[in-house]
Each structure stands twice: as structure tokens, then as C-alpha cells.
Amino acid sequence: MSKLEGKVLVAQGGGPTHVINQSVVGVALEARKFTQVTAVYGAVHGVRGIIDEEFVDLTRETTHNLELVADTPSSGLLSTRDKPDVEYCARMFKVMQAHGIRYFFYVGGNDSSDTVRIVNDQAKAADYELRAIHIPKTIDNDLVENDHCPGYGSAARYVAQAFGGVNLDNRALKGVYIGVVMGRHAGFLTAASALARKYVDDGPHLVYLPERAFDTDRFLADVDRVFSKHGCCTIAVSEGIGDKGGNPVITKLMGEERDAHGNVQLSGTGALGDLLSDAVKKGLGLKRVRSDTFGYLQRSFLGCRSDRDAREAREVGEKAVQFAMWDNVDGSVVIRRPVLDYGVDYELVPLERVAGKTRHMPDEFINEEGNGVTQAFHAYCRPLLGSGLPEAHRIRAPRVPKLLGK
Amino acid sequence: MSKLEGKVLVAQGGGPTHVINQSVVGVALEARKFTQVTAVYGAVHGVRGIIDEEFVDLTRETTHNLELVADTPSSGLLSTRDKPDVEYCARMFKVMQAHGIRYFFYVGGNDSSDTVRIVNDQAKAADYELRAIHIPKTIDNDLVENDHCPGYGSAARYVAQAFGGVNLDNRALKGVYIGVVMGRHAGFLTAASALARKYVDDGPHLVYLPERAFDTDRFLADVDRVFSKHGCCTIAVSEGIGDKGGNPVITKLMGEERDAHGNVQLSGTGALGDLLSDAVKKGLGLKRVRSDTFGYLQRSFLGCRSDRDAREAREVGEKAVQFAMWDNVDGSVVIRRPVLDYGVDYELVPLERVAGKTRHMPDEFINEEGNGVTQAFHAYCRPLLGSGLPEAHRIRAPRVPKLLGK
């Protein structure tokens, strides 16, 4: 049990998810139970809010409103893309010291886990006693050590429901449809499109992931084959697809806008979808080719979330506090799945085992042709989407025999 | 009461909606009650299916499965963009005659209502006894004579939920966000984005509709003003916005792909959003500018629909059959709203009063500056979104006084 008396600080980093507020609320409600915790602060705009001394006092917030916020997507405490260096950390400790903050919980992806690692290392170097815990979240599902990440299930559900709809749309008015899905290095979110399939001829018929080199000629041959068979072709493409040399397809097109973590802008533009559409129009001579870039809709759409994802996001927040208080250690909370169908366990692992690393789709989840997913992926992903997934139904009425035509 | 004995034929035309299958099922279930109806056929791919003699027999479909299909978005009977001319109609009558079809119900927008008008005129000219009724549907909400159109409420709900999410997202990681919404000539769907607003500083802060000429300089001044005030700016733009001369902004960018109705392709490309993003980046020197084109997601997303919209879409199908059978007339079913808060009536009006005409947002729904909507629009639109609209909540915890900074 930690005897360290002081305040808890919770913050959110990186891109929002549908359920990230669950984790903050999990931290706040659990931390309020421990007598060594003198207050629970929330940093506004992540680590940037620490530098700027922008805190809200979550001990002066009602449980009811916290529960309402937990059910709201996106980062209720607001977020940042700032990545602290040594000097940045020094300023953070000065603020933390002034406010008596001794427990730091940071909810975020692999960039944020690296931030926690740096803060933790710097705290040790500065001899500032601090418990620092990284709480996982990312719609990309690309944190190592985790079976899956909070935020993924809900975004995956959005992608599955979206493809469930566009598959019907593209059957009704036949053409080629390309949906561009988030996922810089990992294809998990794009792969979730396959969960939309119900009937054997349902789309997406082709799924392209960043884990496999994208080749335009092979892509066109795939589309041609599917279109010849079904009279339409629905395609899911990850925004992060790259060529054999590992260069993102989209960088050939655009100026290279990079964020503080050195990441190129992939979302918030329709460029990749339009490029692929043009390739199909020109390469195959098909006329009705449409592309949508799912962009920010997939990570914050109000009213689409996985109940299982929401519960787990709450639990990782709760567990983070329990690890810090009962075990008095730093680390990163990870989700294991010891029960295949279906249950989870939470563990705390050293920060350096998660920080800054990227998990990719394992080979067994990707089909041999590199243009689809396997049954193993279906079994992995389906429980994460949660309960009550809407289903599409078809008219099964028999055909009427033709009287005139052949 | 119509004494005309024969088959009913129902078909769907134009773009799918979330609730168009409700109308088909309304026709099928109601028509099966009348003894002069010898069968209920569904045409596969709209009028194209009539030419091709592609019918399914809906009298050999279970009520249970019809109800499941009614709850499924997109066109269960599949659709077409074909627009019949005299010769096309002649071929249709030949097929109808061969199959003993005497009642024709066509669910569609203003292009489809014009199709029904042509078919009806040609039937009279050819002395082919046929009841032809147009059943309204369009996410654009642009049919004249109607208070609103089936399909609009659900698509509007999608747009409102989407902006509810991106508003939160764009607050968390501050920037300029541009969401491009469907609506070729009418701004109703784009305007629904405003229903996402709850707190006074919520986005969308700016809404641009095709009913007002788009001026890039005024647009940049608007964005600059909002961004200076809030540190972020969320914008809804209709895909159909045009300049003072009435030229769509997007046609300056793209080759002019046109469909059979002479419409330019607006959706299925991110070009307009990217153009506006570039204008903001260059014109205002802002870095984090993102755009999403909602594209096909907004009209068929599985699991997002208005229950009120679904009920009304069912009713217009039922009423169409009742008008044809009890009153023995042709026409277009229209929705009135005699009760402001809230109730509807259905009437049948002559086809030529609806066919091929486009309704626009009335002036009283658009603010004086032409960059937002009025309270009158809110009052008009809110009931159409249906019940159980998800809501966003904010942390209301008090700020902690700064100890170091100013």
C-alpha cells in the first residue's frame, strides 16, 4: 500500500475515442476512495495543462455528472499532441510540486505511453517522488502487450456499421466503393470492416492493410475480378497503406504536414480515396467509382459505441488507481484475454515494455492474398464490438418467372 | 373503390435512405389486404427491373422477414438512376401488360416522381389502365408540397450525431474542422448539423447552405472571427454550395461526371473539403485544418435512424395503397404538418405538382448572415430526428486556482 500522501492528477493525451472518458471517471471515482488522496485533479489539454497550471478539481464534481461524461465520447478533459522533453518535464514537476501532486495517470496511446515513460524517468532523475501510470486507449489497437485497447471496440463497431450500410448502398446502385479507414501502421480498425459481412456476397470484398505492401496493379486486378463476379465492389483501405519500400501511398500526393510526434497527416483529407478512385476509373474504365474517407467520424460519432469497450475502459482506469495505491508501483495497465470466448484480466507492466512501440496485425489475421482477413480475426474482433449490433436483412421473396424475356 | 383487378408492382428509385424499405413493406402489407390485388411484385433495380422483367413475388414473403427488411437501411429491392423516356415506357407497359400489373408504386425523390409522371402520362396515351402513385423519399428533403420527406429525419439524425461527436473532437484537439454534407440544391441536411449544438460555444459554429451564394472571402472572415473567439472552429458545408453565378464550387475542381438525370457528381470525393481546407490554411495561416466528406455514410449507416421517420415512411407506403384502392386515383403522397408540435397528415396531390421540382430552405430558416440557421429551423427539425437522441455532457468541475502562473 502506498503511504504517499498527495493529490491525484489525471489527464488525456492524443486522439479522442468513444470511451476515453470512462477511464478518467474510473480513475476519479476509485481515487476518491483512498484516504491518502487529498484531491483528484484533471489536467485540461493533457500535459500542456500541467505546464499551464490548468486544473479542474474532480473531487468537486458530482458522481452523476461524471457518469454522464463517462458516456460521452471524446476527451472531456481535452487533449494535446505535445510530447514532453527534459525541459518540459522540469516545468511539469515544478507545477506538480507546487500543487502536491504525487499520482499521475495519463490515458493515451503509444505516444502518450512514451510521455509517461519520460515523465517517470525524469521524476526519478529529479528525485521527485511520483507514481506514474499509463492507461491504454487507442482506436488503432496498436499497443503492444495488450490483447486489445480500450477505444478500439467502439471505433471498430462504427466501421462495421458503416460498411454494413455502404455494402447495402453499393448493392442498390452498383459501382465501386472505397472506404478509407484510420490506422497509421496497424490495420485492426480497417479489418473490422469485414465484420459487416453477413451474406456470402456482401462487401467489403477487399480489405487492404498497412501490414501488407500495396501494389496498384494487384489492386486493380482484385477489383476487376470482384466487379466481374458481383457487378459491384466494396473496398476497405487503411489510410496508412504503403508501397513495397514502406512509403505511405498518400505521401506521394501531399505536402508532408507533421505533428510534434513526427507523424504525417493522413486523416482530414480525401486525397487517398480520390487517388484510388482515379486509379480504378482509369485502370479499369469503370464509371461509377466513389470513395469516402471516414476521418473523424469513426472516433467520436455520438451514439455508436461498444458496451463491452465502455466497461473495459472504465476498468482500466479503476485498475490503474488500484495498482498505484495497493502495489505502489509505476507502469502501464494492459489487457489480457485469458478466456477466448470471452473474458479479460488486467496487469501492470513496466512502461518501457509498451512505450513508443507499435503492435501490428498478426499474420494469422490476414489472408494469404493480403486483401482480406481470416476467420481467426473474426473470432478475435467480434466480442469487442459489444452487444446489440444492428443487422441487415434481405428480401427473400422468390423470383417471378419471365413471360417475355429470356 | 378501384374495381381494377390485377397485380401491384412496387419499386424504388434513386439514392437509398435509412427507411425507404419501410415504404415498400407498407405497400406490400397493405396491398395484400385487397381482394382485387392478385399479387404484389417488387421490381429489382427500379424501372430498370421492369424493362428487364426482374420481379420478386412479395406475396410469397413472410411478414416477419418483411418487418426485418423494413428495419434495414438502403433499397432492399435495389435501385436505379434510369429515367424513362417514351420508348422506355412503351417497353415497360409491354412487360406490365404481360404480367397483368395494374397498380404501380414508385418510392423515390424528385427525379423518381418525374418518372412516375412520365409513366402515368404514357399509360394514358397508350390507353393502358394503370394506377401510378409516387411515394416520397429523399434525404435531401427537397420535395415540394411536403412539410418534410421520409428519409430526411434519419439522415439528419446521422448528421446531428456526427457533428455532436466532431464538435467534441475539435474542442479536445483544437483546430478548424470542415464537414461536407450531402444536399445538391437544398440545405436541409446540412442545416441539421446545428441540432448537434447544446452548449453556447458548441459547433458547428458556421453552416453554409446552397441557398446562399458562397463567397470565399466572407467565409475566411467568418472562420477567423470564430477561431479568434473559441480557439477552434467547426463548420458544416453543403456539397452543393455555389458562387454568386450559381456555379457549384466543386465544378471548378473536377471533370463533370453527370448521371442520366444530368446531375454532376458531388459525393464520393473529398475534393470540396480539401479545397476549403487549403483556402483556410493559406488564407488564415492556420495549421490544423481537417475536413471530412460525410459521403455515403450519412444515407445508409446501419443503426442510426429516427423512429419517427421510420413510422412515417411506413405510413406513406400504406397510404399510397389506400389512395389507389379506395379513391382510384393517381398522384403523389405528401406529408403535411397540421400540428406544430407534432403530428402529420397524408394527402394525395397530382403528380405534376411534385414531379421534377425542388424545394429549398425557406428564408426564415436561414440566419441573416447566411452562415447559420434560425430557431425556426430548430423547431422544424428537432421532432424529425426522433426519440432517444444521444447527448453530450461536459465536466463541470471548478478550476483550481493557479499557484505559480498568472
What digits encode the pLDDT tens for the residues A265-299? 566 678 899 889 999 999 999 999 999 999 999 99
Confidence of residue B78 (pLDDT cuts 50, 70, 90): very high
Tell me whether residues B400 and A56 touch, CB distance under 8 A. yes
Which residue, chain included where needed, has cell 505502489?
A328
Tell me whether residues B291 and A268 touch, CB distance under 8 A. yes
Tell me whether residues B74 and A403 touch, CB distance under 8 A. no
Calculate helix-pair angle for B216-230, B271-284, nearest 10 degrees: 70
Tell me whether residues B172 and A295 touch, CB distance under 8 A. no
* Confidence (pLDDT) at A274: 87
Q: Which residues of B touch A395 (CB under 8 A)?
A: 42, 56, 58, 61, 65-66, 69, 76-77
Tell me whether residues B69 and A171 touch, CB distance under 8 A. no
Touching B: A residues 294-323, CB under 8 Å: 294-297, 299-304
Touching B: A residues 48-107, CB under 8 Å: 52-58, 60-61, 65-66, 68-69, 71-81, 94-95, 98-99
* Confidence (pLDDT) at A368: 97
Tell how strand B101-108 and strand B6-12 pair up. Answer: parallel
A193 grid coordinates: 470492416
In B, minimum Cα distance to A55 occurs at B400
* Integer Cα distance of A169 and A166 in angstroms: 5
Q: Which residues of B touch A231 (CB under 8 A)?
A: none
Comparing B274 with B107, which gets the higher pLDDT?
B107
Given the residues A82, A111, A114, A140, the one annotated as active site: A140
Residue range B178-187, pLDDT digits in tens: 999 999 899 9
Averaged pLDDT, A372-377: 98
Cut 0.90: pTM above it:
yes
Touching A: B residues 11-50, CB under 8 Å: 12, 15-16, 41-42
Residue B258: pLDDT over 70? no
* Confidence (pLDDT) at B261: 59
- Min Cα distance B317 → chain A (Å) is 17
* Confidence (pLDDT) at A266: 60
Calculate helix-pair angle for A63-70, A20-31, nearest 10 degrees: 160
Q: Which residues of B touch A80 (CB under 8 A)?
A: 173
Lowest mean pLDDT among A172-181, A303-312, B23-32, B248-257: B248-257
Averaged pLDDT, B239-252: 86
Mean pLDDT rounded to a whole number for chain B: 93
Residue type at position B100: G
Tell me whether residues A65 and B269 touch, CB distance under 8 A. no
Q: 3-class DSSP state for residue A184?
A: coil
Tell me whether residues A296 and B76 touch, CB distance under 8 A. no
Residue range A13-55, pLDDT digits in tens: 999 999 999 999 999 999 999 999 999 999 999 999 999 999 9
Tell me whether residues B76 and A394 touch, CB distance under 8 A. yes
Averaged pLDDT, A236-263: 75
Residue B254: pLDDT over 60? no
B14: left (phi over 0), alpha (psi -120 to 50) or beta: left
Confirm or reject contact between B398 and chain A (CB < 8 A): yes
Q: Which residues of B touch A60 (CB under 8 A)?
A: 397-398
Sheet strand arrangement including A233-238: A206-208, A233-238, A176-181, A289-293
Q: Which residues of A touch B234 (CB under 8 A)?
A: none
- Residue B307 annotated among the catalytic residues of the structure: no
Averaged pLDDT, B264-288: 84
Confirm or reject contact between B352 and chain A (CB < 8 A): no
Burial class of residue A262, CB neighbours in 10 A (0-12, 13-18, 19+): exposed
Residue B406: pLDDT over 70? no
In A, minimum Cα distance to B255 occurs at A278
Residue pair A373/A194 in contact by the 8 Å Cβ criterion = yes
DSSP state of B343: E
- Of the ranges A110-119, A223-232, B273-282, the best mean pLDDT one: A223-232
* Confidence (pLDDT) at B265: 59
* Confidence (pLDDT) at B190: 98
Residue range A310-369, pLDDT digits in tens: 999 999 999 999 999 999 999 999 999 998 789 999 999 999 999 989 999 999 999 999
* Confidence (pLDDT) at A264: 60
Measured over the CA atoms of residue B221, residue B226, residue B228 and residue B232, the dihedral's sign is negative
* Confidence (pLDDT) at A405: 79
In B, minimum Cα distance to A15 occurs at B173
Residue A208: pLDDT over 80? yes
* Confidence (pLDDT) at A341: 85
Q: Where are the beta strands (DSSP E) in A156-250?
A: 176-181, 206-208, 233-238
Q: Which residues of B touch A55 (CB under 8 A)?
A: 399-400
Chain A interface, best mutation among B400, B402, B403, by max A CB count within 10 A? B400
Confirm or reject contact between B243 and chain A (CB < 8 A): no
Q: Number of A:B CB contacts under 8 A? A: 275
Residue pair A243/A214 in contact by the 8 Å Cβ criterion = yes
Tell how strand B6-12 and strand B37-43 pair up. Answer: parallel
Confirm or reject contact between B122 and chain A (CB < 8 A): no
Tell me whether residues B74 and A168 touch, CB distance under 8 A. yes
* Integer Cα distance of A198 and A265 in angstroms: 34
Confidence of residue B270 (pLDDT cuts 50, 70, 90): confident
* Integer Cα distance of A24 and A68 in angstroms: 12
Neighbours of B291 (CB within 10 A): 27
Q: Which residues of A touch B169 (CB under 8 A)?
A: 16, 74, 296, 299-300
Residue B253: pLDDT over 80? no
**First CA to last CA across chain B, in angstroms?**
81
DSSP lists the bridge partners of residue A55 as A43
Averaged pLDDT, A87-115: 93
Residue A388: pLDDT over 70? yes
Tell how strand A343-349 and strand A331-339 pair up. Answer: antiparallel
Please provide the DSSP assignment of B24-49 as one string. Answer: HHHHHHHHTT-TTEEEEEEETTHHHH
Residue B28: pLDDT over 70? yes
Residue B252: pLDDT over 70? no
* Confidence (pLDDT) at B250: 80
Neighbours of B282 (CB within 10 A): 11
Q: What ipTM is given for this predicted complex?
A: 0.94
Mean pLDDT rounded to a whole number for chain A: 93
Comparing A189 with B90, which gets the higher pLDDT?
A189
Comparing B38 with B111, which gets the higher pLDDT?
B38
Domains of chain A: 6-150+304-353 (3.40.50.450), 157-300+361-385 (3.40.50.460)
* Confidence (pLDDT) at A85: 87
Tell me whether residues B296 and A287 touch, CB distance under 8 A. no
Q: Which residues of A touch B273 (CB under 8 A)?
A: 269-270
* Integer Cα distance of B261 and B295 in angstroms: 19
Residue range B43-61, pLDDT digits in tens: 999 999 999 999 999 999 9
Lowest mean pLDDT among A204-213, A241-250, B321-330: A241-250
Confirm or reject contact between B344 and chain A (CB < 8 A): no
Q: 3-class DSSP state for residue A305?
A: coil
In B, minimum Cα distance to A402 occurs at B53
Residues 6+ apart with CB under 8 A from B338: B344, B345
DSSP state of A333: E
Comparing B272 with A205, which gets the higher pLDDT?
A205
Which residue, chain included where needed, has cell 393502358?
B128
* Confidence (pLDDT) at B248: 87
* Confidence (pLDDT) at A169: 96
A203 Cα distance to chain centroid: 23
Residue A260: pLDDT over 90? no
Residue B260: pLDDT over 60? no
Residue B115: pLDDT over 70? yes
Q: Which residues of A touch B201 (CB under 8 A)?
A: none
Averaged pLDDT, B289-318: 95
Tell me whether residues B303 and A161 touch, CB distance under 8 A. yes
Nearest to B310 by CA among B251, B197, B387, B224: B387
**Among A99, A390, A400, beta carbon nearest to B403:** A99
A354 grid coordinates: 509498451
* Confidence (pLDDT) at B162: 98
Residue B257: pLDDT over 60? no
* Integer Cα distance of A370 and A223 in angstroms: 14
**Among A69, A81, A393, beta carbon nearest to B65:** A393
A34 grid coordinates: 483512498
Half-sphere exposure of A319 (CA within 13 A, CB side): 21
**What percentage of chain A exceeds 90 in pLDDT?**
85
Given the residues B82, B111, B114, B140, the one annotated as active site: B140
A232 Cα distance to chain centroid: 30
Confirm or reject contact between A192 and chain B (CB < 8 A): no
Helices (H) and strands (E) counted in chain A, each on its own, are 12, 11
Tell me whether residues A94 and B173 touch, CB distance under 8 A. no
* Confidence (pLDDT) at B268: 63
